[in-house]
Structure 1
Amino acid sequence: MQVRKRYLDNIRWITQVFVVLYHVFYMYNGEGVQGGLGKITGLPVQHYDIVLYAIYPWLMMVLFIVSGIASRLYLERHADKEFFRSRTTKLLVPVTIGLFVFQFLQGYVNMALGDAFTSMQQLPPVAKYLIMCLSGIGVLWYLQILWVFSVLLLLVRKIEKDRLWRLGARTNIVALLALGAVVWASAQVLNTPVIIVYRFGLYGVLFFLGYFVFSHDEVMAAVKKYFPLFLLLAAGLGVAFCVLYFGQNFAAEPVNKSPLFVLYGWF
């Protein structure tokens, strides 16, 4: 158990390094992905933006799978009530306080850079404040969605009684490959129309796959055994994705629903 915890910790910190790297390029991207300062060079094409295309598809997928695994490990040693209390204290409370006390400042900066206040002059101060909070939500959306999935997990556990979890131990290489179709299908549904990071279908399936499938030692052993195959698939799909979609908004439809986007992220 301790070895696996270190393994998950390693995945977390490595992924967090990529999160920072991604946002450095994201702030100054010239590909039409809004939220940062935008293009600041005189280059006709910022070829280094390819880093964004190489990282974005799999970044959050990894985090939600790891979150599902971590939830299983926690619930093996704690009661459901402790899990709910822990997730509420660590996720919901910081999100609520952060959103309404601090994140409106980021929202103000984002809206000022986008010259959004010129079209909001007639709005009352309270409405402007709420819009600034939503505009500045930043990375807090991840914590919000994770809390929702954690609550849903407790409801699912009461129904499935570990039957589905035990079935997940039988997942083999063929099933792992086939699950790519399930992940792609989930990316097509439950996506919010305005704030595009809220992808409840895709991230929900990944979270529950982390809990029911990847929390098993047998499955992780299969992943390790066939890692060269997965790496080859990911490399091929990644190159194809970058070549085909470079210059398009990779974070929005239809790119973020495309088979290349989803399967590259999955493998």
Structure 2
Amino acid sequence: MKKERFCYMDNLRATALLLGVVLHSVLAYAPRSTNGWISSTPQQYEFFDYIFLVLRPWRMPLFFIIAGFFCGYLLCSRSTFDVFKNRTYRIFLPYLVGLPFIVFGPYLTLEIWQEKLTNVPYLLTLQEQGMVYLNSGHLWFLFCLYEFILLLIILVYLHLYTPSVTKFFAHPVSLLFFVPIAILPALMTEYVPYLTPDRLYPQAWSFGFYGVLFFIGAVLYQHQSAIDRMIKWIAPLAIFCVVGMIIYCLEIPEAPSKEEVKLLWAGDRLMGNEQEISLQILQSFLVVYLCYLSLALGKRYWSKESQVMRYCADASYWVYLVHVPIIFMIQMPMIDLHWPAWMKSAMTLTVTLTISFVSYQSLVRYTWIGKWLNGERKRNKVAVDVSQ
């Protein structure tokens, strides 16, 4: 039986992951993250703050909705045990393999660069002082994703993931009001903008935020007419998101100071420091509505298969797994160079994407690594006209 494809979902998932490469390429040069990024430099560019603020509310939430959608598809087309084996093999094992490099990488970075740099990043100083907790870095999403998959499998066994049960969550009132309100308590426990659940153990707030969105994605697979309905909401969603994003960027608290960054890495979420309930409510609705707008635009305009986007979708998982170490290897030697921030970020992004895609094509796509991460890919055979 031919595997069903959802081209717009593949395209959106690839876009969400590849935008992560863009985001992480500019964080070293964004004033908001200068105290909290391991390769930050004295050269800063305020425009990069807005890239951070615009992408932050919806990029990974959209990814988790899409991941939930595809998990729903798997659970409806395979046995739960097959889904468990598949997701363990392709999500949890890559996490376990990559985790040692992410956990101990900062210590290696400290050992190599601390004595060589004139402008030592503040986070590197905190690392030397033992003030940075062990974390899963950018691989946090794999750990959370695996947790949510296991919970969804449990819901299947409890007969709580069926169209008759989930139809409540697919109702327009639920999608437009219940979902933003449901994630608000989790966001209320976090700094604004919310951080990442990158601890080496489950964090309750991640279930109340990303877990809820993952479940909504699984619901949307069973009620795909809800996504079709979102297409009719494009105009009002776009107006709300544009106006809301402007307010969000204007009202967001100042970037955390060095002392506040130190407290954040110590586990203090700085609750009470400029945490306005109105901003938290706006953030929760922005998160959800930006995701809906992305789904609606994707379904409306991006449903046709494209060979370029198909390739990017295939490569995006590998690219995202390897891009952060590559970014650090590129940015650390440039810290003391007096180049403009835009030039450093452009070089970072270009070289990172080049290395990531070339390594995917040459080392991953048609090898055991590619089969492990994405399933087997067969080379296209070139047809030869023997009549000529």
Structure 1 length as normaliser, TM-score? Answer: 0.80
Q: CA, structure 1 residues 262+25, in 2 after alignment: closer, same or farther (shift >3 Å)?
A: farther
Runs of 4+ in 1 over 6 A off after TM superposition: none
Quote the residue 1:49 is aligned against. Answer: 49
Quote the residue 2:11 is aligned against. Answer: 10
Q: CA, structure 1 residues 79+110, in 2 after alignment: closer, same or farther (shift >3 Å)?
A: farther
Task: Structure 1 unaligned segments of length 5 or more: list them.
Answer: 121-127
Residues 43-97 of structure 1, C-alpha deviations (whole Å, 9 max, x = no match): 7xx2431111111011111011111101001111111001111111111111111
Larger relative contact order (Cα-Cα within 8 Å, sequence gap ≥ 6): 2
Matched position secondary structure for 1:13:
helix
Quote the residue 1:151 is aligned against. Answer: 150
Query: Which residue identity lines up with residue 115 of structure 1 in the other structure?
Result: T
Counterpart-to-counterpart distance in 2, 1:224 and 1:83? 31
Query: Which residue identity lines up with residue 27 of structure 2 in the other structure?
Result: Y
Kept in 2, the 8 Å contact 1:29–1:39? The answer is no
Q: How does 1:7-156 map to 2 (within 5 A)?
A: 7-32=8-33, 34-41=36-43, 46-101=46-101, 103-106=103-106, 108-109=108-109, 113=121, 114-116=124-126, 118-120=128-130, 134-135=134-135, 137-156=136-155
Counterpart-to-counterpart distance in 2, 1:42 and 1:82? 49
Quote the residue 2:236 is aligned against. Answer: 229
Residues 194-232 of structure 1, C-alpha deviations (whole Å, 9 max, x = no match): x94112320111111111245422111111121222111
Kept in 1, the 8 Å contact 2:31–2:255? The answer is no
Count of aligned pairs between the two proteins: 249
Matched position secondary structure for 1:88:
helix
Counterpart-to-counterpart distance in 1, 2:157 and 2:44? 58
Matched position secondary structure for 2:245:
helix
Matched position secondary structure for 2:16:
helix
- The more displaced of 143-152 and 21-30 is 21-30
Counterpart-to-counterpart distance in 2, 1:18 and 1:147? 22
Counterpart-to-counterpart distance in 2, 1:263 and 1:248? 22
Q: Cα RMSD between the aligned structures? A: 3.1
Kept in 2, the 8 Å contact 1:188–1:201? The answer is no
Q: CA, structure 1 residues 247+38, in 2 after alignment: closer, same or farther (shift >3 Å)?
A: farther
Q: CA, structure 1 residues 4+49, in 2 after alignment: closer, same or farther (shift >3 Å)?
A: same
Counterpart-to-counterpart distance in 2, 1:162 and 1:117? 44
Query: Which residue identity lines up with residue 15 of structure 2 in the other structure?
Result: I
CA shift for structure 1 position 16: 1.9
Quote the residue 1:218 is aligned against. Answer: 225
Residues 73-131 of structure 1, C-alpha deviations (whole Å, 9 max, x = no match): 111111100111111111111111111256522453269541245435xxxxxxx9xx8
Matched position secondary structure for 2:56:
helix
Query: Which residue identity lines up with residue 248 of structure 1 in the other structure?
Result: A
Task: Structure 2 unaligned segments of length 5 or more: list them.
Answer: 115-120, 198-205, 257-263, 290-388
Q: CA, structure 1 residues 178+146, in 2 after alignment: closer, same or farther (shift >3 Å)?
A: same
Q: CA, structure 1 residues 253+220, in 2 after alignment: closer, same or farther (shift >3 Å)?
A: farther
- Identity across matched positions, percent: 19
Q: How does 1:171-186 map to 2 (within 5 A)?
A: 171-179=170-178, 180-186=180-186
CA shift for structure 1 position 184: 1.8
